[in-house]
Amino acid sequence: MEEIIDINSLFDRRLSFPDPGALKRFSQLVGIDDTKSRVAKLLAVLVHPDGVKEWAAKHHKEASAILDFVERRPPLVILAGDVGTGKTELAETVGAAVAAQDGIDITLFPLSLSTRGSGKVGEMTKLLSAAFNETVAMAESLKTSGGKAKGAVILLVDEADALVQSRENAQMHHEDRAGVNAFIRGVDRLAQQKLPAAVILCTNRLDSIDPAVHRRAADVFKFSRPNEAQRETVMSPALNELGFNKTQINKIVKLTGETKDRAYGFTYSDLTQRLLPAFVMDAYPTAPVTFERAQELTVGISPTPPFKQS
């Protein structure tokens, strides 16, 4: 008897947009404004092509050929880069920006890592197929008789190299190869049926992603650790509130970059989840945050090491 798959176990949770909380998180991703804008525009076109059609009708009424190229792109976006550079946070919140921009409802399905299965023959393929079936079913329910969609779906695959690693790897297990094939079939299915849905892949190792998956991406966005200007953009508002002057802020910014002892600086998450909160927790509850102590803490905190490519 065929095993019944628990659909709810496929996804870590389901997020619905518009969502003011998610939109605030999106706005707080500072230092990567250009990437945020480009990803949001691309996803808007992929999941809601009526928006770009309305734009063309207003500005380029005869632009049918170029619109065809735009709409024919596979509904797949890859976010790639080092750990802690904002990929997952952007992937989890960009739907809120698209929903607000285009005035549509969007559901985000973050694929659970348990979808890799326990290694039983055929298990990962079945789980991936089930995840795409659920995505397709939701997307189909959002299409109206007139062809327009009343909403959209985004399937998020974080740590994607765990699911869609290259089939050219000689050490790759047959079951893993089958899982990659299932993923490709799922993306192609969304494209062929022209459903209001898209897939976001997040990976630390772009070179490990299967070439056929890479080739299907409408675009690949590469994330890196923040440079000096970006680190200043992230930290200045918070340090200003603590009473630090520009010279003091610049000193902290310098300390979070590359040094003679290490060839890499702090990640975005190092700054926002570790360093800045550490200033508060060190002084709380009896003393104010001081620049001198902040310097000591900054020197004493080691940034997350870069992800080693295989």
Answer yes or no: are the C-beta atoms of 136 and 193 closer than 8 Å: yes
Question: Hey, what domains does the chain have and what are their CATH numbers?
Answer: 7-223 (3.40.50.300), 228-300 (no CATH)
Q: Which two tokens stand for residue 229?
A: 């200007």
Q: How confident is the model over 219-243, as a mean pLDDT? A: 96
Which pTM does this prediction carry? 0.89
Give 153's contacts (C-beta < 8 A, 6+ positions apart).
Answer: 47, 106, 107, 108, 109, 135, 138, 139, 142, 195, 196, 197, 198
**3-state helix, strand and coil shares in percent for the chain, rounded to the nearest 5:** 55, 15, 35
Report CA-CA distances (Å) from 99 to 48, 77, 104, 184, 232: 10, 17, 5, 26, 30
Could you read off the pLDDT of 163-219 as tens digits, one per residue? 887 776 656 666 678 888 999 999 999 999 999 999 999 999 899 899 999 999 999
Q: Give the residue-averaged pLDDT of 221-232.
A: 95
pLDDT over 70 percentage in the chain? 89
pLDDT interval class at 1 (50, 70, 90): very low
- The percent of residues in the chain predicted with pLDDT above 90, rounded, is 67
At residue 214's C-alpha, the angle toward residues 197 and 87, to 5°, is 70
Strand-pairing partners, residue 203, are: 80
